[in-house]
Amino acid sequence: MEASSRASSLRPTRKDALIALGLAVAGQLEVWIWWVPDEQGPKPLAAIALALMAGAVAWSRLAPMASLATGSAIYAAWCVADVPQGSLMPMVVILVLVFEVAARCDVARAVAGGVIGLAAIWLTFVLTDNDFANYAFTGVFVVGSWLAGRGIRSRQARADDFEAHAVRVERERETQAREAVAEERARIARELHDVVAHSVGVIVIQAQAAQQLSVGEEAVAQSLRSIESSGQQALVEMRRLLGLLRREDDELALAPQPSLRYLDHLAATVREAGLPVDLRVEGAVTPLPPGVDVSAYRIVQEALTNALKHAGPASARVLVRYGAGEVELEISDDGPGPGAGNGGGGHGLVGMRERVSVYGGELESGGRPEGGYAVRVRLPFEPARP
């Protein structure tokens, strides 16, 4: 397969083959319809030479310098045998080859290619009239073809640079997004540790208390001792994990546990920072599982922070709606900026999605028809058993 791929890379492209074919057909038409043998030489020689020169064009993209050298050598040999005075197609073929060299080679080889093409065309006049006007006239065409090729190369180079820059920016964006996801997951893990550790601690305490009530019931006491031992071991391992997670976030360990109970304080803090906030609660306030409570608070906090940063002169509205087995959040603003969802290049939404996905919830975000931005979240939870 490797040999087949290598062989196919050495074949002319369909476009190059069609260009070469077109030049060959045009050359044969010139020879067999308009050629004047007494002035331009024998037709068979011209037909063969033009066919060979056109064939060199087929490889001009794969090997531009070699193609130009081959075409120029064929033309030079033709001129030495019998100068084709007044013929158009040999010059056209040389100009195409010069264009390809200028468009596909570095400056040094492009200049060398231009000189080779110019020398090949001027050879006709060296061997005939040596008229300066002919040198100047044909020189303009060669230089024009060379400059056109360099212009194409320069434009392609700019396009390649732009594409490479776009690829770099996309990779950096993906890297930042992955880092944001990892950072948010670590933060969620730290917060969930507190929730789970508290629950396990309650289990251990209850098991210890139950042992005091099960005097004389050895089987029950043994089971409770096993629960206590397993719970204590789980707490030790979780504290070890928390130590790793909090090495770069020591202040979080000292902060109170986030909860929707503290939304009033959060709203007041945001108001002091300059963003008016209207906080509303609908439905019967239901105790939430600690993990859901933490995530709901963090989502509101993130959305308000982003609105404060990006919404511009605006006001915000926070709606918390308690339902049967779910809590809905809606954080919106009426500002002219990107608004609540655009936390530092979209990473605010990345964190919200991570939190919502943990509990199988739903998140919607986007601009509002009346202006501003809105984030809507639904977090399901298992109601506490009585």
Q: HEC profile for 200-250? A: HHHHHHHHHHHHHHCCCCHHHHHHHHHHHHHHHHHHHHHHHHHHHHCCCCH
pLDDT given at position 1: 44
Residues 200 and 288 in one domain: no
Domain-located, residue 144: no
Q: 34: which DSSP letter?
A: I
End-to-end CA distance of the chain: 70
How many domains are there within the chain? 3
- Digit-coded pLDDT (tens) for 30-64: 889 988 887 778 889 989 999 999 888 988 888 89
pTM, two decimals, is 0.47
- Digit-coded pLDDT (tens) for 120-146: 989 888 888 888 888 888 889 999 999
Alpha helices, H only, the chain: 2-9, 14-29, 37-40, 43-57, 64-81, 89-104, 107-126, 132-213, 218-245, 250-254, 263-272, 290-310, 347-358
Pairing verdict, β 316-323 and 277-282: parallel
Domain-located, residue 235: yes
Residues 109 and 37 in one domain: yes
For residue 364, what is the enclosing H or E element?
A: strand 362-367
Give the number of other CB atoms < 10 A from CB of residue 236.
10
Task: Identify whether the C-beta of residue 360 lies closer than 8 Å to the C-beta of residue 380.
Answer: yes
Q: What is the CATH number of the domain that holds 347?
A: 3.30.565.10
> Is pLDDT at 187 greater than 90 in this prediction?
no
Residues 242 and 275 in one domain: no
Query: What's the rounded mean pLDDT across residues 217-227?
Result: 64
Domain-located, residue 318: yes
Residues 276 and 363 in one domain: yes
User: Confidence class of residue 326 from pLDDT cuts 50, 70 and 90?
Assistant: very high
Integer angstrom CA distances of residue 362 from 280, 285, 296: 20, 20, 12
Secondary structure (DSSP) of 264-311: HHHHHHHHHTT--EEEEEES---PPPHHHHHHHHHHHHHHHHHHHHHS
Residues 271 and 373 in one domain: yes
Give the number of other CB atoms < 10 A from CB of residue 322.
16
Domain-located, residue 161: no
Q: Which domain holds residue 212?
A: 181-253
Tokens of 302: 């993130």
